[in-house]
Structures are given as C-alpha cells and as structure tokens.
Amino acid sequence: MTGYDKNDNVLSSQCYGQTSASVYALIILTGNLLNHVDDTATTSAYNNGFEFKDGVKQANEYVYDANGNLTKDLNKGISNITYNVLNLPTGVTFASGGFIQYGYTADGIKRRMMYKEADGSGNPVPTVYCGNVVYENGVARLLLTEEGYVTLSDKKYHYYLQDHQGNNRVVLSSSGAVEEAITILLVGYLQAQAMCSLINTTARSTMARRD
C-alpha cells in the first residue's frame, strides 16, 4: 500500500502481478466509500490467479444504500444486493442470471442459503445450517469446527488460516497442504504465494502440537 487518507482508507497501492509498470491500482474514495478501481495490469503473473479483475471502466463502479451497504458491484457483475433490517444481505442478484438468497433467525444467525450459478444454469441449490452441520439439497455435507470444517463424505478435516482481521485466507488439509488460497481486493496473489511456505510450516507445527 502506498497511500492512505486520514481515516486509514487505502488511496493507492503498488501491485506486483506485472513488472512492466510501477503502479497498477488507484482507488478513489468519497465519504469513506469505494467508488471505483482502475487496474492497468493486463496479465497475471501466475496462471489461474485470484487477483482483482477490472471488469468495467466507470466513475461509479460500486453503489451503496443509505446505510453504507454495498448494493451493486459492476466489476463482479452484481446487479443488486438486498438487506434486512439488521443490515444483513438477504439476496445477491447477478447480471448473468445467477443469484444467492439468505435466510436468518430473528437475532441474525444465518440458517439458510440458496444459490444458482452466476451464468444462470442449473437448478437452485438450497443450503441449510443446523447448528454446526451444513446440509446441501437435504444431505449433510459439512461439520463446522472452530478451526475449519469436516467433509462428511470422506471424514476429512480442513483447517482455516486467518489474516489479522479474522478473514479466512487459506484452507489446509490435515497434512498441512494448501487446498485453497483466498485473496482479497488489493492483496496481491504474488504475496500470497510467497507466504505459502511459511503458512505450511506454521500449520504443520500447530497440528503437530494438537496431535
């Protein structure tokens, strides 16, 4: 990150996905809300990278409601997001025809989700959360734990590694192998790859102590 405002919002950053330019992304902020991102990187440094995709070039690529909740994300093809009185998302609609719907208890605990592929294909898939068990299409699929989850089909454990803000960034197998790396806007995939060796070592050490 190369620039912040007085509220610690990111104004600019230097990405390392491409070496032919020095500055790849410039963020314009108004009222502490992100308006648009201009990313001039044309290629990814890694195949199948998870970096930000600059899908449109407009002055207002993100739209918010009166409470500051994101209601539209043109870069991700999200045409509308609805919220309940608790400011929890109840529906996400994609321009391509897909959607995600959420259901909550009165105190805001998520109990149900239904989704359809973003390209509009296939039938909606209902997902129900009952305690720490996740059902998909009426079949128990996952058992949630404090450290991650268990896939009930093969009884295998999977562990989360989180960043300093509590976001899940990496999914590890019980042997410490990286199964999935999750990147967030303005966090370069190159940096995530560079951390993998440290992540593997830390995870194996942690699981060894538990064993």
Q: Which of 160, 210, 169, 175 is nearest to 193 (CA)?
A: 169
Task: Specify the pLDDT at position 13.
Answer: 63
3-state secondary structure of 146: coil
Q: What is the DSSP letter of 145?
A: -
Residue 70 to residue 94: CA distance in whole angstroms: 14
**Tokens 């620039």, residue?**
3
Residue 88 to residues 63, 71, 107, 118, Cα–Cα distance (Å): 16, 12, 11, 21
Radius of gyration of the chain measured on its C-alpha atoms:
19
Task: Specify the pLDDT at position 134.
Answer: 94
Task: Specify the pLDDT at position 22.
Answer: 54
pLDDT tens digits in sequence order for the chain, 211 residues long: 667 878 877 776 655 444 344 555 554 555 678 888 887 776 666 555 566 777 888 888 999 998 889 999 998 899 999 999 999 999 999 998 889 999 999 999 999 999 888 676 778 889 999 989 999 989 999 999 999 999 999 999 999 998 888 888 889 998 888 888 765 544 333 333 333 333 444 444 444 444 4
Residue 205 to residues 89, 182, 197, 198, Cα–Cα distance (Å): 37, 21, 12, 11
Residue 9 to residue 114: CA distance in whole angstroms: 33
